Amino acid sequence: MNWEQLLSLKRYGDTNKRLRKEQDETRLGFEVDYDRIIFSSEFRSLQDKTQVIPLSQTDFVHTRLTHSLEVSVVGRTLGRKVGAKLLEKYPHLQTIHGYQANDFGAIVAAAALAHDIGNPPFGHSGEKAIGQFFISGAGKEYKKELTLKEYQDLCDFEGNANGFKIATQNRIGREGGLRLSYATLGAFTKYPKESLPKKPTNHIADKKYGFFQSEKELFVDVANELGLIKRGADEDFSFSRHPLTYLVEAADDICYTIIDFEDGINLGLIQEEYALEYLINLVKNTINSEKYHQLSNTQDRISYLRALAINTLINEAVDVFLINEEAILNDNFSTGLLDKSQYEAQINDIIKISVKKVYQSEEVIDKEIVGFEVIQTLLGVYTKALINKTQEKASHYDLLILKSIPDLYFEEESSTYTKLLSVCHYVSLLSDSQAILKYKKIKAIAL
């Protein structure tokens, strides 16, 4: 892979090549990507989607929206730091093509901003609930009408692939979705492969999948424009990661490792004395002890250590990326950046305590139970109504249900797969509160 191709400004529908040196410096193409994401309705809905702790009324807890904004800030710094070093190594990118360090930061920031945009309500438990509907629920009956890869898309419903769908799907008046640059779409796609074969290797890019069958042709176009390396068997669509994807992933890893931990402390799920020890182990080389001991309350102490920890891990991720840059370009780097960090042990210690005290807390488990029931119910009612209408046997109730979901986009002549995926996509776009409200209406629970 080469950086000139990887930094493509092309957008869906372009007929002429976009050149960096011809860009308006007051409104760069990669910065337009960020704007389009942040003004999208799909991004706004993240304000009512849980990050870890569900439906909390406290100001301490992060939603998907605040998490995404923070990941974007970290990603921008990572991109700029790496970009500055890459321009020193490849000066022609700047002197001939006009690229600046901030371009790298803008791409990573936009991709990081969108990294959770496809997540359904109730977090990762929402993904599992959608999958279980097709594995063991009422959705299993449609298996015979689907190809293996189509069925796997539904059984392993993936927020990353759903995010790519949001960013790129065509519909009337919105051709090309958000019409992001191909560089940003490439950096966004953490898992540039189909749902099958499942985990064919231990490479981190094969951990999950990044696009549905419905967007396969478009992703192949993106991959070819960016010069991503073809991987896997001829009949399977799998590519190398865009190198900047490693920075997007690192930004997310840094934020959820440190900030979920911080939420747990502020909520009293993790004892302060215990937590401070973990964070101090991570920042012991940079902490100003005198300043730290002047801080008089838990929130200020945690905030100070959190800032130091994020800065430490940013610099570490940049160093690991630059050391391995050529291996990454040749698709010979198979782990996340922080997996090669000198702080890996400290990071793992923090994650372990977060899993035990936060991710497996009563509140989180209750959220998963509620979310599972809500999503399974919505999928059952919506898919039945849509398929019955297609087969011209819709009841009056089915027609009422379809009228209640006017934003469900599909074509009448489309396949069963497209219709089922459209329902999953519609449900995924609901916020936690919207999903619960629709569930209550279906169950005739007093509002």
Stretch 262-270: mean pLDDT, rounded?
84
Tell me, what CATH number does 316's domain have?
1.10.3410.10
Q: Are 314 and 405 contained in the same domain?
A: no
Q: Are 281 and 376 contained in the same domain?
A: no
Lowest mean pLDDT among 2-16, 176-190, 354-368: 354-368
Label residue 149 by pLDDT band (50, 70, 90).
very high
Q: What digits encode the pLDDT tens for the residues 349-401?
A: 999 998 888 887 777 788 888 889 999 999 999 999 999 999 999 999 999 99
| Domain boundary residue, one of 335, 361, 387 | 361
**3-state class (DSSP) for residue 230:** strand
- Note whether residue 412 is domain-resident: yes
Instruction: Determine the pLDDT at residue 52.
Output: 64
Burial class, 116, CB count within 10 angstroms (exposed 0-12 / middle 13-18 / buried 19+) = buried
Q: Rounded mean pLDDT of the chain?
A: 92
Nearest of 234, 145, 224 to residue 194 by alpha carbon: 234
- Note whether residue 319 is domain-resident: yes
Stretch 335-357: mean pLDDT, rounded?
93
Residues of the domain holding 418? 363-442
Q: Are 405 and 389 contained in the same domain?
A: yes
Helices 362-390 and 432-442 meet at what angle, rounded to 10?
A: 60
Does position 86 have pLDDT exceeding 50, yes or no? Answer: yes
Q: What digits encode the pLDDT tens for the residues 404-434?
A: 998 888 777 899 999 999 999 999 999 999 9
Q: Residue type for 338, please?
A: L
Instruction: Determine the pLDDT at residue 172.
Output: 77
Lowest mean pLDDT among 48-52, 119-123, 128-132, 176-180: 48-52
0.75 cut: is pTM over it?
Answer: yes
- Note whether residue 8 is domain-resident: no
Label residue 55 by pLDDT band (50, 70, 90).
very low
